[in-house]
A and B are shown apart, each in its own frame.
Chain A
């Protein structure tokens, strides 16, 4: 299957700083990527849909000014957590669809990155 990478895999930062997380599709081009957040013992919650060359679409309750998303190329999307606070500590995971997989669009399989564990002190 398609490969998605994330960097960094973990980060610890002080409260008030900004953290940038990168998501890359390594062997395919992704016009759409997705950013999820997962708190301990909870499911993955979609934060936003990242669209190459246009603005991201945020889910209800997710602050777009706090979680900045940039999708400048077909293989890279970035999520910046601005002015991070301890309650932002979570597991952030990106995913991407592989439009060239040969399957119909309705198949909608997504490939996930390995995740980034953010701890804000």
Chain B
């Protein structure tokens, strides 16, 4: 089983849509969980950390389910500028990334 499994997409959604991504991890020792955003030919930038209680930042909501070993990211009211690759990350001393999910928001 892969350390991290993430649906690569691509997801093509219209502006204003709600879209959700999931990521599963196999190492139950993972301590920290993240969602990163990566634009084409750029470095990844932290979008948000993911906490057990779930957390929200504007249009973005992240959830962690330790029992089922997955994290999710929900984007509401999608904007054109949300188009990017979204990487999930899990840390247990070192940070391991998922394959990345490509999101394209179109007019």
**A interface with B by C-beta (< 8 Å):** 1, 34, 42-46, 49, 91, 93, 95, 106-115, 117
Residues on A with C-beta less than 8 A from B45 are 112
B37 to A: closest C-beta gap in Å = 11
Q: Is the CB of B31 within 8 A of A43?
A: no
Q: What 6 additional pairs, Cβ within 8 angstroms, besides A106-B32, A111-B46, A114-B42?
A: A43-B87, A43-B98, A46-B95, A95-B95, A108-B31, A112-B44
C-alpha gap A107/B41 in the complex (Å) = 27
Residues on B with C-beta less than 8 A from A34 are 94-95
**B interface with A by C-beta (< 8 Å):** 31-32, 34, 41-46, 49, 87, 91, 94-100
Residues on A with C-beta less than 8 A from B31 are 106, 108
C-alpha gap A36/B95 in the complex (Å) = 10
Residues on A with C-beta less than 8 A from B42 are 114-115
- Indicate which residue in B41, B97, B100 contacts A117 across the interface (CB closer than 8 Å): B41
A41 to B: closest C-beta gap in Å = 8
Q: Is the CB of B32 within 8 A of A114?
A: no
B34 to A: closest C-beta gap in Å = 7
Q: Is the CB of A107 within 8 A of B97?
A: no
C-alpha gap A93/B100 in the complex (Å) = 16
Residues on B with C-beta less than 8 A from A117 are 41
Q: Is the CB of B34 within 8 A of A44?
A: no
- Indicate which residue in B41, B87, B91, B99 contacts A108 across the interface (CB closer than 8 Å): B91
C-alpha gap A49/B49 in the complex (Å) = 22
Q: Is the CB of A49 within 8 A of B87?
A: no
Name B30's closest neighbour in chain A (CB-CB): A108
B71 to A: closest C-beta gap in Å = 14
20 cross-chain CB contacts under 8 A: A34-B94, A43-B97, A43-B99, A44-B44, A44-B97, A46-B94, A49-B94, A93-B43, A106-B31, A107-B49, A108-B31, A108-B32, A108-B95, A109-B32, A111-B46, A112-B43, A112-B45, A113-B43, A114-B42, A115-B43
